[in-house]
């Protein structure tokens, strides 16, 4: 039995300005609002985690404000005084008392994994069983909404050897403009880069039938979540008939959702996001379901800072190389971060840090300056 226990839990609402506006179908982000969590243990170890959403409540049923409040009001009493190094017991305790709230749960599980890694002198990937790769290929998202600006941005990333796969955000304008926007970008990049598109649930099934064929003809490789998340039957029908693979993203809001989607053969690709499944260990359960069903994987993001990005990266690194790579570019889009040293990106990949836990430390001055009061 461990004599260690959790002494203190603190959750901070932090505003992180972006280098440029990030335009999605449902929202344009200029400052990313996120929750930075710290769990302090009696042996002097502190674990850190993060929970971010995209555009407040425009993406999911949790917002940064609700995440902070719910961690303080409901999660913290379940954590104080407990052994921080028995993750199974702690997360079972949380599951028995709190329903849903996967974003908040993910921040808690990430912080506990970070603490355990520091306590044992192991990386989070090692705590999760060990990494299969040292680095993850990273897709860059083109979301300025301006075709020429997106092309210039992609060319810069190729020149820097930072990204060679690009995802174009669509759905905020007319269907014809959307298709032309993506097709023009693909034509400009040619065979030097792959192009995928993300609709963020903004098309109907009928619109997607015609647009999907046009996008495939233009050389676009994949369409992410074109229809509303609840309409898994439409996703399944489109997956059977379109000449281009579809990826389920918003449709997966829990591990149970991933099982239901796999059972219905709704999409041949799943986007993995620790926030939507409830943490790094939880996302690996979704990955196992997809692998058993022969579904390819993609490592998604909620535009987290370096803390949440690395929590995802450590989990994804324990899987065989993901067929559709990852989208862990969040720290690269931020004008400011809350860590003393950001992760390393080069040779088209994000490289896992070598230190214990997540491998990053909070910059206390930055955190204090960026806290939203």
**Which pairing describes strands 194-198 and 165-169: parallel, antiparallel, or unpaired?**
parallel
Distance CA 327, CA 180 (A): 24
What are the φ/ψ torsions at residue 165 (nearest 5 degrees)?
Answer: -125, 135
State how far Cα 39 lies from the chain centre: 22
Is residue 10 within 8 Å of 71, Cβ to Cβ?
no
72 contacts 34 by C-beta, under 8 angstroms: no
CA–CA distance from 242 to each of 134, 183, 220, 221, 236 (Å)? 35, 17, 12, 12, 10
Distance CA 303, CA 329 (A): 7
Is the Cβ–Cβ distance between 172 and 204 less than 8 Å? no
Can you list the alpha helix ranges (DSSP code H) found in the chain?
A: 64-70, 76-79, 87-97, 102-120, 124-127, 147-159, 175-189, 205-218, 232-241, 255-263, 274-277, 280-293, 306-316, 330-333, 364-370
d(C-alpha 212, C-alpha 219), whole Å:
11
Could you tell me the sign of the dihedral formed by the alpha carbons of 319, 298, 37, 362, in that order? positive
Active site amino acids:
169, 327
**Complete DSSP assignment for 288-299:** HHHHHHT-EEEE
Is-contact 272 254, C-beta < 8 A? no
Residue 271 CA to residue 284 CA, distance in Å, equals 12
For residue 52, what are its two tokens? 């971010």
Backbone φ, ψ for residue 166 (5° rounding) = -130, 140
């Amino acid at each position: 039995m461990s004599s260690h226990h959790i002494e203190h839990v603190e959750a901070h609402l932090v505003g992180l300005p972006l280098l440029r506006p990030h335009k999605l179908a449902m929202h344009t982000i200029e400052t990313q609002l996120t929750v930075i969590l710290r769990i302090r243990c009696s042996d002097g170890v502190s674990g850190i985690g993060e929970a971010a959403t995209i555009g407040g409540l425009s993406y999911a049923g949790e917002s940064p404000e609700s995440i902070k409040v719910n961690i303080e009001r409901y999660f913290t009493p379940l954590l104080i005084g407990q052994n921080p190094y028995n993750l199974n017991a702690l997360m079972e305790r949380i599951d028995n008392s709190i329903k849903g709230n996967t974003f908040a749960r993910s921040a808690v599980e990430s912080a506990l994994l970070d603490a355990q890694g520091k306590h044992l002198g192991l990386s989070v990937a090692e705590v999760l069983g060990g990494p299969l790769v040292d680095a993850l290929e990273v897709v860059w998202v083109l979301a300025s909404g301006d075709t020429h600006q997106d092309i210039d941005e992609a060319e810069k990333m190729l020149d820097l050897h930072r990204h060679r796969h690009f995802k174009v955000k669509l759905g905020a304008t007319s269907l014809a403009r959307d298709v032309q926007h993506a097709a023009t970008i693909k034509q400009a990049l040619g065979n030097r880069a792959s192009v995928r598109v993300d609709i963020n649930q903004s098309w109907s099934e009928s619109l997607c039938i015609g647009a999907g064929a046009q996008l495939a003809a233009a050389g676009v490789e994949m369409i992410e979540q074109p229809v509303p998340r609840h309409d898994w039957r439409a996703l399944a029908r489109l997956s059977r008939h379109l000449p281009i693979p579809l990826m389920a993203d918003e449709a997966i809001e829990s591990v149970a959702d991933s099982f239901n989607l796999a059972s219905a053969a709704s999409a041949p690709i799943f986007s993995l996001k620790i926030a939507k499944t409830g943490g790094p260990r939880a996302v690996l359960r979704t990955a196992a379901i997809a692998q058993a069903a022969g579904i390819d994987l993609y490592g998604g993001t909620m535009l987290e800072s370096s803390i949440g990005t690395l929590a995802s990266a450590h989990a994804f690194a324990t899987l065989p190389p993901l067929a559709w790579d990852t989208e862990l570019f969040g720290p690269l889009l931020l004008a400011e971060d809350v860590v003393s040293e950001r992760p390393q990106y080069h040779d088209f990949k994000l490289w896992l840090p070598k230190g214990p836990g997540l491998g990053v430390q909070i910059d206390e001055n930055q955190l204090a300056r960026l806290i939203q009061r």
